Amino acid sequence: MTARRSADQIHAALSAQIVSGQLRPGDPLGESALAGLFSLSRTPVREALQRLAAEGLVERGPRRAFVVRRMTPEALRDLFEALGEVEALCAGLAAQRMTAIARAELAQIIDSDSGDHAGYATLNARFHDALRLGAGNRVLAAMLEDLNRRSMPWRNAQFQASARRMQSSRQEHRAILQAIAAQDGDRAASLMRDHMATSLAVVLQMIRARG
């Protein structure tokens, strides 16, 4: 079901490279250069870049050129806070709305945590999917997906810098899931806020260390 439109392919490729850190903040994204790279014309490249800009992954630089988005500490604070609050919101809604079946699936996700590094990405994805679907609101789900995508580069970098953080993050996720399964929305929301605050602190410290 991979889209066959060229613009979609470029968008997906650039998005993946930005989120994975292959393209770093500030890197230039010239239309002609990308067109040459993908062996396409500038038109679909423009569409892809405009979509990435709308999603907040790239921004306009000098000469209105596109560059991979740079984030100030203040912007990162706002982004992580927003992500935490919306996730807390969804966690609370999920706690009160999830069906018995959905809760069973949640428990299964918790149990499937084998503890190895390789499985963390998929486990993390299932964690967020459970939240989005559990809340039962497509608009909130879309917002959460968007915030997740925008914060992904920084959260990934967080784990690349220190493997120990991955362990603590996993434990925090586990506690949140258990609170949701126990239908304790307030506790889930509170844990989520703490989780995001901790993540932000790690990211900011990492940025300071790098300069």
Partner DNA sequence: TCGGCGCCATATGTATACATATCGCAAGCG
Partner DNA sequence: CGCTTGCGATATGTATACATATGGCGCCGA
Contacting residues toward DNA, per CB under 7 A: 5-7, 29-32, 40-44, 46-47, 62-66
Least distance in angstroms from the C-beta of 82 to its own copies: 4
Of 46 and 128, nearer to its own copies (C-beta) is 46
Helices (H), the chain: 6-20, 31-38, 42-54, 73-97, 100-111, 120-135, 138-161, 163-181, 185-210
- CA-CA distance, 65 to 42, in Å (whole number)? 13
Contact between 51 and its own copies per CB under 8 A: yes
Question: DSSP states of 134-163 as a string?
Answer: HHT-HHHHHHHHHHHHHHHHHHHHHHHH-H
- CA-CA distance, 186 to 9, in Å (whole number)? 41
195 by Cβ neighbours in 10 Å (0-12 / 13-18 / 19+) ranks as: buried
Of 140 and 175, nearer to its own copies (C-beta) is 140
Least distance in angstroms from the C-beta of 203 to its own copies: 15
Nearest CA to 57 out of 158, 139, 145, 175 is that of 145
- Cα distances (angstroms) measured from residue 89 to each of 95, 183, 204: 10, 13, 24
Least distance in angstroms from the C-beta of 202 to DNA: 34
Angle, CA of 87, 91 and 94, to the nearest 5°: 135
Least distance in angstroms from the C-beta of 74 to DNA: 24
Q: Applying CB under 8 A, which of residues 143, 161, 166, 204 lies at the interface with its own copies?
A: 143
Contact between 177 and its own copies per CB under 8 A: no
- CA-CA distance, 131 to 188, in Å (whole number)? 11
Of 21 and 136, nearer to its own copies (C-beta) is 136
Least distance in angstroms from the C-beta of 56 to DNA: 18
Q: Applying CB under 8 A, which of residues 3, 16, 37, 54 lies at the interface with its own copies?
A: 54
Q: Applying CB under 8 A, which of residues 18, 23, 58, 79 lies at the interface with its own copies?
A: 79
19 contact choice in DNA, its own copies, none (CB below 5 to 8 Å, kind-dependent): none
Contact between 197 and its own copies per CB under 8 A: no
User: Given the rule CB under 8 A, which residues bind its own copies?
Assistant: 43, 46-47, 50-51, 54-55, 75, 78-79, 81-82, 85-86, 89, 137-140, 143, 147
